[in-house]
Every structure is written in C-alpha cells, then in structure tokens.
Amino acid sequence: MSNQKLLYFFNRHNLTLLVVLMSVFCFSQNETNNWSFGVNAGLDFSNGDVAVLNDRAMVTPAGCASISDNDGNLLFYTNGQTVWNKNHQIMLNGEGLSGEIDGIQSPLIVPKPNDTSTYFIFYTRQAVLTSPVYYLPGIYYAEVKFDEANPFGYVTVNKDVRIAEIEATNRIAAIHHPQSDTIRVICMTKPDPVFGVMIPDGEFIFRIFNVTPTGVNLTPVKRPIDRSITRLGAMKIAPDGSYLAFADSASQKVYFYSYNNETISFEPYFTLPTVPAFGVFINPYGIEFSQDSKMFYYSGDGYVVQFQYRNIGGVDPAEYYLMPIENPGSIQLSRNGKIYIAQGNSSNPNGKISVINKPEKIGEECLFIAESVEFGDAASTKGLPMFVASYLRSRIIPSKDDCVDVAFSFELDAYRQILSVEWDFGDGATSTDFNPTHLFSTPGIHKVKARIIMDNNQAVTLYKDVEAYPLPQLAPNQTLTQCDTDVDGISVFNLENIKDLAVHADPDFIYTFYHSLDDANNDINRIPDSQHYTNVSNPEEIFVKIVSSKGCVTITNFYLENYQANALPISDIYVCESSDDVLNNSEGKFNIRAKELDIRAELAIPAEFTITFYANLTDAQTKISPLDRYHTSATTVLWVRIEDDSHNCFGVMPFNAIVNSIIDLDIESQYTICDPSVQPPIILDGGSSNYSWIWKNQSGSIISTQRFFQPTQEGNYSITVQKQENGISCSLTKEFRVIKVAAPEFLEVRANNGQVFVSVNGNSTYQFSLDGINYFGSGNSYTFSSVAAGIHTVYVKDIHNCEKSITTQIYMMTIPNYFTPNNDGINEEWKIFGLSKKFYSGVEIQIFDRYGKLLYNMDMNGNEYGWPGISDKRLYPADDYWYKISLTDLENKLIIKTGHFSLIR
C-alpha cells in the first residue's frame, strides 16, 4: 500500500492508523546523513558525496551527536549539554543537560524503534558537578519528541534521567538487534558496590541498556571486563556487530572482544599494543572499523594506524600501516564507506579534517589524504558524531574495479533483510536483481545507486563509486616507419616505438609482439628482443598485445615499413678539450640542444619535426637511449634521427663530434725562487702552440702578455692562454704560487768534550759539514762526534741546492778525565786542550783535593805546561781531584765549568 493510500485511510478513519503509519517507517542509514561537530562545522552525506557546511550553532571541544529523519534531513544535534534543532536554534527545554562536552564519545542519539517521533540522547558524566547544578557521575538519557505542536522538537520531562547511578566512562556504543527490533546501548561503568563498598578504580564492566518500542529498559545487562583499564579512549562496535573494541590511552593498548548480539556476551579476542613501529609509542584516542567490519583503525600522537585485526592467528601476520597526521582526534565511519579523522582541539581548532577514502583496502591503497576536507569559517576540534553502528552497515558490494570490457557484479549488505532493490548504474541502465551484473560502455568513475526496501518497509538509497578502467587505445593498421640507410628494405626496428602512435599511452603499459593474431590471442610465439627486431619483409604486419597497469588488454595490428633515408649533410661539431671541466682526459662536453638548432637552420627542418640524437646507428634506428641536452665523450661519430609530426622517419644521419687537442701549457702549481748565487732565475713558458698569453698577479692585474714570464716576487699568479683549432678558440687557465727562499739561520751551536751539536731554523732540509767537503745528515740538526780540540768551521747547506749556504766557527775545548805522570812521556800533565785567546780574554784554573783544599792554580799561560801532580814540591798520590775553570769570553761574560779527574800512577 502506498503512502498516499495510507494517508487516505487515515483521513477517512481514525487516529489509530497513525500508529500503523509510524510503525511502517523505522530507522535506516539516512539517519547518519548529517554531522555536526567542532566549531560550527557540519558535513552532509545525502547524495553519497560529502558537502561541507559552516552553519552549525554548536561549539564543542569533543562530544557531539547528530540525527536525521528517514529521508536524511537534519532533525537535531547536541553536545550533551545543549540541544539544537534543524534550524540551529536551541530546542525547547534543550539546555542544561548534565553531559560532559569534553567526553570523547558522549553523547549518542538513539531512535526509538517503530516511532519516528521519539529519540533518546544518551550521555555520561565522570565527575561530580556542584555548580550551577548538582550532578552526580553516571549514565543519563534525555527524551526528544516531535509532534504537530512542536515540529522542531522538544526535550520532554524525561530529561537527565540517571539510569546508572555509578561512575562511568565516556565510552558508549550501540547496535541494532534484528530479532527483537531493539537497540542495545553499550556503556562502560564501574561495577556496582559490594555491600556498599565501591570497587577500586581500574575495574569496569559493560552495562547494556535495551531501547525497545516501549522506551528505555532501565534494567541493564551487566558483563564483566576482566582487566584493569583507565577511562580515556573510544569504544566502537563493528557495523556487522561481530566485534567490539575499546582504546585504553594510558596503557597504550586496544582491547578486542568477540560480541554475540543474541546473548549480549563478550569474549576476549585480542589485546593490541599500540606500538606500530620501532620507537613509535601511541596513546590511542579514537578508533573505528571499516564498513565491511574487517579493517581497524586507531588514532593518537600524530598518527592514524591501520591494523588487520582479523588476521590474528592466520597464516599471514597482521600488519600495520601508519599515516602521519597533525593532532588527530576522533575517527568516524560515514555512510559513504569513508572514514573521517577530526583534527585540532578547543584551544587550537583546525579548519581541515582528513579522510581515508577506501578503508577496506590494505596499506597505501586505502587512499589516506591528510586535511582533504576544508571548512570555511568553521573548524574541527577533537570530536566527531557517533551513530548506531548498524546504520552504517548497509552498503553496495561491487566486484573489484575492473576494465571497461569486463562485467561488474554487485551485491548488497544491510543490517536488516532487504525486500526489494532498484539499481541505477549511472549510465542509463537499471536493474531490480539482488545480485546484478553490468557492463559499462565507457571508462571512468561511475556512481552506482541502489534504492533498497528493508523488512521494516524503510527505503534507503545506497551509493558506491566504481571505476571502469580504460583499455589501451591503438588504432589498427598504423605504420611504424624506419629510415633505410642502405636501401635494402631491411632495418632494425624497436617495436615498442608503436607506443608513439597510441592514444594516452602510459609508460607503465606492457607491450608484447607476435607474427599472427592467433599467436597474440593465445600468447604464444612472442617476438623476442622486440627493441631490436629486423623486419623480414617490407612492409610487414605485426600484432601487439598492450596490457595497462590495471591489467586491461588491447590486441591490434600495425605494419613495419622502410623508407629510403634522406642523406642530408650534417656539419661536424667541435668543442674544446676543457669543456667538460676535466683537463687532459681528451673528452669534451657537446651541446646537443645547440646542435639541434643548427641542424634546423642548416636543413630548414620544420618546427613540428622531432630531432633526436644518439650514440650509434642502432640506437638511432630503435630510438633507444637518446642523448641528453649535453653529451660528454671523446671524439666520436654521433647520429641524428629526424621524424615528422606523425612519427614517420624522415632521416637518420651521422656527423662527427670532435674534441680539440689538449692545450699545451706546462705550468706547475708552485715555483720557488732560489738564491741567485745557487740557481739561475725561473723562466715560465706559456706554450708555443698558443697564440695568446695573459699573466696576472693575485690582485687580478695583468702583468704580462708575453709568452715567457719571469716571476721575481712571492705571490699567487695565473696564466690564461688561447689556442685556435678547427675554427674555435679554446682557452685554458692555470693558477700557480711563487715563493722565495731565505737563507737558514743558526739556532744553536754547541761544542763540548769532542761533540759538536748544530741546529738551524729554515724552510728546507739541510746537510752539515766541518770541512766544507764531506756533508752529513738530512734535517734541521746534526751532532758531530770525536771532534778534536781547537777552532772549527761549521758548514750548512740546503739539500735541494736552492738556499744560500751558511757557516760559523766553533771552539772545541777538551778537559781530560785523567792523566798518568809516570815519566813515560805520555799524559804526564793535566791541562785543558783547545784554550785560545781568540775566544777567551781570561782563564783561571783551580785544582782541589777531595776535601776542597786548593792545591794548584794556573792561568792560560800556565795551562800550556799543565799540572804534573806536584805542588809545593809535594808529590800527590793517585786519587780523584776536582777542578774549577773560570773563563771570561770576549764579551766579558764569565763561564764556569767544574768537574773532576783522576791521577793515575
């Protein structure tokens, strides 16, 4: 019976038929069409797409709920404290609800079954409120009704009805029970006190209330939660009612339960630690299931994470897929099958939210797009509206997106039995089959609609975008031409160049080639090495199978044909040897783009023709490895291929690419100006094969333009030369440094007891000598041994023979360690050897016994005779004696030497 007939009977009979009319129209997916959340933000999903709205009156940091009528028109929305009607005005009696607006899920709107005029708002309170009104923690509901007198709705006297007088979390979820046609509202609260004693924090239970056609059943079903948890984190039930999950933010876990809607029972299924990657620790906040109830998502700490929760215990391990996102909040499934992610908070709202376009797909195929929904004057905070999970189950299930020449199959899924369906495939075709197939005539994205009637006589329109992939497009009987350089009708073809003649060719297309259509259809006898195929006849027919990246196939034919090549002269190209910025490697850098312009000008090639360069003839024929704009090589032969605007070969010609010879410039990086008494001056040669020489000093001033240059000062210099060859001038610049040497200086010269130590300060390596003939050492110092007493000349010379040699005189004085006055004529006296008035103006030598008694005193003259071991006619015995020698040098400086010696008899 149609609606009009029912209304006709209603008008003619009595009010009881109104109840019949209401019972016919129950609730469906249309109730989820309109969302209200955040700062004046809204979304409308009425036509399967999403429309952004900025007209909402509500501002909420998190908690929010919305509901629409059977036709998908907005009825009202709330944040758990205030209720607004569809005109965005505060509903009659719609203020002062006891909910907490910062709750992650509270509130939730549940329609009264079989009554389109009544709704229940469920909301929670975790903390006691004392002002302005006193509210206790618990689960509350408020009743909203619509009637003729109040078409925009009003909150009834059943307001702030506390149905759970116990501490509660903000977690609420709801699922439809088809058999009883009721809504089960699942809450999480503290257990009831035991003998009046409150259960410790951390212990919670599921408390389930049934919403029936007679209202809210105030006697809940209670089920234990056998684990210790905290209060923050969302709770959701899968659209098909098979699983329930809740996030525990503080413990970084999500708990999964198998849910039995018949027995209202929960069985632990899996505990998910929210550590999806090494070093990534997430405190989960929002959670959601995909529309097919097979994929799971959670949000928190800069990520949304996909998890294949149904793979637990399977052959393939469950995998994570991480999607970075700024400040994520609640996540919510919509009727179009997409999942939306709130972003921002009350102190920092975000004008955009993110979306997962294909939540049922794995990994990046889920098509997550960050901040893809943008609001104008509105913004998102942490919350999104929740709905009865069953209302989001109804959907079109297509076969996978496929090629346009493949028929699509479609199925339906709903939370109630489907009585009938009317399909609209978006291209004029329709069907009333429950599982139709349809072949689209054009590629592209098609919006498929299915208007279903469920067993409550409620009509719902479902939408699904499917994509028919295009077939590769290559017109048959086209010709792939080649330039025949030797006029024998046989050439090498790159068969894959047929892609140049295809329409919208994709680089990911796969081409395979055959000699016959049967071979192509059966995929046998493929032509090997299709990039280097030599034709066997002229022309020759080839068949090609083209497979797109989506697996769509086109089989067609084309022809190979050789043309006599145009033998057009191409002038040679020359470059300097240094053009590749590497000296003396006999390679140059050729400007291919400039050569193309030259060829166009020389041969009057039309602008629409294509000119491409290659390293060899085979590459030019097959169009493999075209040269870049710049090509670096030694002297070689390059090939140019010219094609018209239809990709026909116009000509394949060679030309010489010549690298000029290396510029002769023998300049080292550093030169040393030696002492002119040692080495002749430096004369630098700029090279006889060059025609220009520019010498510059370190300030950049030109100091010479002659071929030869004699540096006389220290500093940094450069020379730039130019050489003319093959009609081009090549230049080369070298920089060099000039240093001057200074003669070394004596640092220390020390002579004592037969040893002479010499050290010098200088910039080279030095050798040392005492006779100017025989030199020793290699460094900055040297020690001579067994040097006789007397005057010696020390010679120091540069080992490289660049610095001037230096000399100095030394005086070697030898103090004997013993003497033997035994009348044998040897060592009869103790005296100092090498004393000379040339070095000392005064000498006093004193000799003491072991007790410090002065025994003998002599000056320089007395030293000539020495001490014979006798003093005052006394013959001293064999013993050790001590001396003190006081020397006054020519600068009147006193030098004292002390020691001892032995008298041996």
Residue 151: CATH number of its domain: 2.130.10.10
CB count in 10 Å sphere of residue 811: 16
Element (H, E) at 6: helix 3-12
Q: How far apart are the C-alpha atoms of 19 and 5, rounded to whole Å?
A: 15
In this structure, is residue 4 part of a structural domain? no
Element (H, E) at 761: strand 755-761
Q: How far apart are the C-alpha atoms of 116 and 313, rounded to whole Å?
A: 44
Task: Report the relative pairing of strands 478-484 and 553-564 from DSSP bridges.
Answer: parallel
Are residues 674 and 588 located together in one domain of the fold? no
What pLDDT, on the 0 to 100 scale, is given for residue 15? 33
Q: How far apart are the C-alpha atoms of 505 and 544, rounded to whole Å?
A: 14
Q: How far apart are the C-alpha atoms of 188 and 247, rounded to whole Å?
A: 12
Burial (CB count <10 Å: 0-12, 13-18, 19+), residue 348: exposed
In this structure, is residue 857 part of a structural domain? yes
| Cβ proximity of 326 and 311 under 8 Å | no
| Cβ proximity of 329 and 341 under 8 Å | yes
SS3 5: helix
Are residues 319 and 446 located together in one domain of the fold? no
| Overall domain count for the chain | 7
SS3 content of the chain, % helix, strand, coil (to 5): 10, 45, 45
In this structure, is residue 602 part of a structural domain? yes
Q: How far apart are the C-alpha atoms of 33 and 46, rounded to whole Å?
A: 5
Burial (CB count <10 Å: 0-12, 13-18, 19+), residue 66: buried
Sign of CA dihedral 491, 495, 499, 501: positive
| Cβ proximity of 257 and 243 under 8 Å | yes
Are residues 279 and 371 located together in one domain of the fold? yes
| Cβ proximity of 184 and 266 under 8 Å | no
Residue 132's nearest CA partner among 65, 94, 89, 81 is: 81
Are residues 649 and 783 located together in one domain of the fold? no
Instruction: Find all residues with CB under 8 Å of 582, minimum gap 6, and list them.
Output: none
Are residues 112 and 130 located together in one domain of the fold? yes
The 3-class secondary structure across 616-629, one letter per residue, is CHHHHHHCCCCCCC
Q: How far apart are the C-alpha atoms of 56 and 62, rounded to whole Å?
A: 15
Q: Average pLDDT of each block of 10 consecutive residues along the chain (905 residues)?
A: 35 34 49 96 92 96 95 96 98 95 92 96 89 86 97 97 94 95 96 83 94 97 94 96 96 97 96 90 97 96 94 70 96 96 94 96 96 94 96 93 95 93 95 96 94 90 93 95 87 94 90 97 96 94 96 96 84 95 94 95 93 95 94 97 91 95 94 92 95 96 97 96 96 95 92 90 94 94 91 93 92 89 91 85 94 93 92 90 92 91 92
What pLDDT, on the 0 to 100 scale, is given for residue 437? 97
Q: Both tokens of residue 69?
A: 């009528």
Q: How far apart are the C-alpha atoms of 423 and 408, rounded to whole Å?
A: 13
* Last-in-domain residue among 330, 363, 390: 390
Residue range of the domain that includes 103: 9-390
Virtual torsion, Cα 291, 295, 296, 297, nearest 10 deg: -80
* Last-in-domain residue among 624, 659, 694: 659
HSE-CB of 492 using CA atoms within 13 angstroms: 14
Q: How far apart are the C-alpha atoms of 423 and 560, rounded to whole Å?
A: 48
Alpha-carbon radius of gyration of the chain: 52
| Cβ proximity of 722 and 730 under 8 Å | yes
Are residues 27 and 113 located together in one domain of the fold? yes
User: For the domain that residue 419 is a member of, what is the CATH number?
Assistant: 2.60.40.10
Are residues 371 and 498 located together in one domain of the fold? no
The CA-to-CA distance between both ends of the chain, in Å, stands at 155
* Last-in-domain residue among 740, 757, 777: 740
| Cβ proximity of 204 and 223 under 8 Å | no
Q: How far apart are the C-alpha atoms of 70 and 114, rounded to whole Å?
A: 12
Q: How far apart are the C-alpha atoms of 321 and 358, rounded to whole Å?
A: 14
Residue 407, φ and ψ in degrees, nearest 5 = -70, 135
| DSSP state letter for 800 | T
Residue environment code for 363-399, b if the CB has 16+ CB neighbours within 10 A, otherwise e:
eeebebebbebebeebbbbbbbbbbbbbbbbbbbebe
Are residues 279 and 360 located together in one domain of the fold? yes
SS3 578: helix
Task: Report the relative pairing of strands 854-858 and 840-848 from DSSP bridges.
Answer: antiparallel
User: For the domain that residue 683 is a member of, what is the CATH number?
Assistant: 2.60.40
In this structure, is residue 440 part of a structural domain? yes
SS3 725: strand
Angle at 339 between CA 333 and CA 340, to 5 degrees: 105
| Cβ proximity of 269 and 243 under 8 Å | yes
Are residues 97 and 199 located together in one domain of the fold? yes
In this structure, is residue 2 part of a structural domain? no
Are residues 805 and 823 located together in one domain of the fold? no
In this structure, is residue 3 part of a structural domain? no
In this structure, is residue 194 part of a structural domain? yes
Are residues 53 and 201 located together in one domain of the fold? yes
Alpha-helical regions (H) of 457-516: none
Residue 557, φ and ψ in degrees, nearest 5 = -125, 165
Are residues 889 and 784 located together in one domain of the fold? no
In this structure, is residue 237 part of a structural domain? yes
Q: How far apart are the C-alpha atoms of 536 and 782, rounded to whole Å?
A: 88
Strand order in the sheet with 444-454: 402-403, 459-469, 444-454, 418-424, 430-431
Q: How far apart are the C-alpha atoms of 462 and 449, rounded to whole Å?
A: 6
Residue 62's nearest CA partner among 232, 184, 251 is: 232
Burial (CB count <10 Å: 0-12, 13-18, 19+), residue 670: exposed
List beta partners, residue 875: 870
SS3 419: strand
- The single-letter code of the amino acid at 163 is I
Q: How far apart are the C-alpha atoms of 191 and 209, rounded to whole Å?
A: 15
Sign of CA dihedral 220, 221, 227, 231: negative
